[in-house]
Structures are given as C-alpha cells and as structure tokens.
Amino acid sequence: MKKLILVILTITLAISCNQEQKQEAPKPETPFVWEGANLYFLLTDRFNNGETSNDVNFDRTRETGKLRGFEGGDIKGITQKIQEGYFTDLGINAIWMTPIVEQIHGGTDEGTGVTYGFHGYWAKDWTKIDPNFGTEEDLKELVKEAHAKGIRVVLDAVINHTGPVTEKDPVWPEEWVRTDKQCTYDSYDNTISCTLVANLPDIKTESNENVELPPQLVEKWKAEGRYDQEVKELDAFFERTGHPRAPRFYIMKWLTDYITDFGIDGYRVDTVKHTEEYVWQEFKKECDYAFETYKKNNPDKVLDGNDFYLVGEVYNYGISGGQWFDFGDRKVNYFNPPSFQSLINFEFKWNSKELSYEDAFKKYNDSLKGPLKGFGTLNYLSSHDDGSPFDAKREKPYETANRLLLSPGTSQVYYGDESARSLVIEGTEGDATLRSFMNWEAVNSDPKTKAVLTHWQKLGQFRTNHPAVGAGKHQMITQEPYLFYRSYQQGDFKDLVIVGLDLPKGEKVIDVSKVFEEGDKLQDAYSGVKATVENGKIIINSNANIILIERQ
C-alpha cells in the first residue's frame, strides 16, 4: 500500500512539474522586422543641442534666411534623448538621421535667403563628420547607446551631387562633375544626366574613367595630416574590388566606411532616380560586404541576422506602382535586380486623405503581400521636403498617429509628428517651414502636447512590440464597429493582435472568436484593461475610442 501511495505521489509530482515547466517556458523573442519597423526621421541640426561649444564652425556667421542656418542640433543631443528613453517610450526601433558628413563651409542663396548646409545634403568631404554635428567618438557613442536599447541607426547617403559652389567651396574637377545642364524631369535622361537645381554640381555617376582626387580634398587632407592614410585606404579598396577609380566608387568607399567603422544598420539613399539604377546594385553589394565585415570583426556587437537596410528616395514613387517607377519614357525597377529593400512611399499621404481606414489598410496589405512581396515601403505623413503634408496645421494629430502607426508597411515618424510641432512657420521661405527646431518646451510643459504624445507612445509601443501590425496579414473583422486583426509568423514566433478604431467610449463588447480561443487572457494595450475570452467575447471598459488587443 505504501508503495502504491509513493508511486501516485511521484506521478502527481511529475505531472505538476511538467505543467509548471510548460507555464514557465519562455516565449520566443520578438524579432525585429524592417518591414514593420517604427522609424524616426530627424534633422540632426534641428532635434536637440547636446553640445553648445560646436554650434559655430568655419565662420558660418552670415545672416541667413529664417531657419536656413545651423541651429545647434547635434549627435550628442540625439544620444541624450536615447539615454533618457525618449525613443523607447515612443516605441521607436530605428532612427534615421540626415547626413552628418562635412558640409560646404560657405553659404549660398537659392532665392530663399542665404542658406548653410545645416540639412546635411551639401557634402564637401564625405570622409569627415561635420564638427557642427559632432565627432567620430560622438557617433560611436550614439550607435552603442541606440543598440543597447534595441534601436537601429540609419544614416543618409548622397552619391549624385556635391554641395554648391561658394567663395569658400570651389567646384570639383570636370571629370568628377557636370554643371552645364539642369534637369527638366520630362524623361529618363533629363532626370539623370543633369543637375537637380542650379549650382548643385552633379557627380558623373555614369563614368568609368579613372580620375584623380580633387585637388581641394588633397590640400585639405594634407593640412589635416591624414592624406597618406586616406590614399592607403583607397588603394586597398580599389585593389580588393577591381572597380575603376571612377567618381561613384570613391564615394561608395567613403560611405561604406561608416558601416565598418561605426556599425550603422542601414542607409536611406537620397535622390535615387537621379542616378543610373545599376549604381544602386553596386552600392548594395559594397554595403553588404561592409556590414558582413563589421559583424565578423565585432561578433559581440551583432544585434541579429538582419541584412543591411537600404531604403531609397525615388521622388514621387508610390505603392500603386508596385516594383516599378515610370519616368514617362522608361520604367525602372529599383527593387530587383537586388538594390533596395524598400522605397519611400510618396503616395501614403494621399491615400490617407482619400481612403477610409479599411480601404487604405486593405490596399497596403494586398500590395505588400502581392506585387511587393519580399520588399517594403516606408510610409510617411510629413517630411523635410514635402510641402503638402497630411496635416500641416496639426489639427489631426490623433488620426495622423492612427493612420501611420497602424498601417501595413514601415512607418516613418518625422520629428515632431508625435508632439504636433508646427509645420507652418511665419516668415520662412520654401521647405524651411517644415524644419523648425523640435518643440521640447511644449513636450515638457503643455498639457495638450503631452496628451498627443501619450497617444503616439501607446500606438508606437504596440507597433514595436508586435511585428504583426506593420509586417503581418491584415483582415477586417467587422466594419461597424470597425475591428481588424493582424497575424504574423516567423519561425516559432507567432503574433496576433486585434485593433478597434472609432469605437464608443465606455463599455465595449468585442467579438474576438475569429482570432483568440475560449479562456485566452487578453489585455487592451491602450487602456491597460485586462479581459478573459468568454463565449468568444471580451469586455473592455475604457474612456478611449480605440482598443489595441494583445495577449497578456
């Protein structure tokens, strides 16, 4: 009898232990997925001033047009906000910064007042960080701190042009650039083999002729005591690759150094359609090589198995074009042969204005699971050079968040979207109105701004916690009330969420039977209310008109 009791106790204990082990089995780690990432785009000079001693360099002291000079933002300022948890609280898992390479020293007037290269798109020397933005040590620290919080770092690459010519910045040699023909944008050739605007020398990216270094760079590097080292590295690059010493390959070498030296995770590539498409295939190959080299040399700093991220700015590309962009006389595929993983989607703001939530979400789901399967789009509602944003006067900050952060595809939060930073600044000319300094005072003290920010934080965290939101399959549950679910699977990781929009405030009875099982323990990530599935339904009592349902 005692033996029988002992056997029963042993079996009971074993069953109990197995159940505990089942309950305590760790959930698969949530993967980072570029196709569903929440990317924050900021102008390095306009976000946060972390080091006031670098605010003026190269005697950039001329009076400028409003918001057309350097305002003091820098790499240290971004790092400070990473350390404070600002991006983590906002649910951001990737940061895209405008170019940080050394800009032209002089200012130029394009008809909108004297302007300096605060935006980063007027390169003078690709091999050096502009001191207004910071130092190499600053960039290393930023990448380290971002990676420690699971945030990827995306820099901005410019290959097709140098900065304007000024009294301090001579034109590059004619074998490097063209200056005689301005683009008319009415054909493929008249978009590529020409200058974007007057006084913006166009790199001869089509050339395969060997060229010498520009004399101004030789003089500069010698004065800085690094000429021999730069030439040695260039010699090694051209020997390894077998590329001719043509202009585009010099620049590719200089840009990929930021991958091997600092471990950045991606590039947003500027003015893609103004360069021959094969250039981007070559650039991708060099970026991939540099990224693999970095990971091999720094195995302890590798975040995951994702490839290097390349997203292209093909101005006016829209998701409706699938993999193709139409120049009028020629269509070009910038996705395949392999070049870009994603393109910025200039159509998203119009879809958001014209389509219902469901029509827009279904359109994007069908495109990303159809013609664009295996690729992605980067959706935005405001940006640094789009003069027709979705909500310029910031009258719909909550809808802006709903549209952007709940749409299939990668989301691009433009700095200040989350704080309703004004995009209409009196006294500015052109795109300067889009580029005011980040409104930190309102973020810290204004109740309305804080309420808007809280909404963006809740949606952003939900998005980054659930790859299903951006990268998953979309399916409507009911039109009235508007409910949909998203589902995503990668290996052992499975993700299911339900979202409801424009719901009544107060008690909400939600049918979740198509997605979750009886007895499942769920919670509304927006209100924090928990619920258990009973008879296929849950009850959420909250003061919000939105629900974000996830497993507890």
Residues labelled as active-site residues: 270, 313
Beta carbons within 8 Å of 310's beta carbon, 6+ residues apart: 266, 267, 269, 280, 283, 284, 287, 339, 340, 341, 342
Say if CB 83 and CB 166 are below 8 A apart.
Answer: no
| Range list of β-strands (E), 423-472 | none
For residue 337, whether the previous peptide bond is cis, meaning omega lies within 30 degrees of 0, is yes
Cα–Cα distances (Å) from 335 to 324, 373, 454, 497, in that order, read 8, 11, 36, 30
How far, in Å, CA of 38 to CA of 412, rounded? 6
Buried b (16+ CB within 10 A) or exposed e, 300-327: eeeeeebebbbbbbbbebbbebebebeb
Tokens of 32: 């980072």
Reduced to 3 states (helix: H, G, I; strand: E, B; else coil), residue 530 is strand
> How far apart, in Å, are the Cα atoms of 85 and each of 91, 145, 257?
10, 10, 29
Q: Give 552's contacts (C-beta < 8 A, 6+ positions apart).
A: 521, 522, 523, 530
Beta bridge partners of 532: 521
Q: Which two tokens stand for residue 120?
A: 């980063």
DSSP 270-307: SSGGGS-HHHHHHHHHHHHHHHHHHHHH-GGG---SPP
CA dist 538 and 552 (Å) reads 13
Task: Give the Cα separation of 452 and 209 in Å (integer).
Answer: 54
Which whole-number Å values give the CA distances from 76 to 54, 96, 263, 441, in the listed order? 11, 15, 17, 19
Place of tokens 């994702």: 306
Residue 25's CB: how many other CB atoms inside 10 A? 8
Contact 273, 191 (CB under 8 A): yes
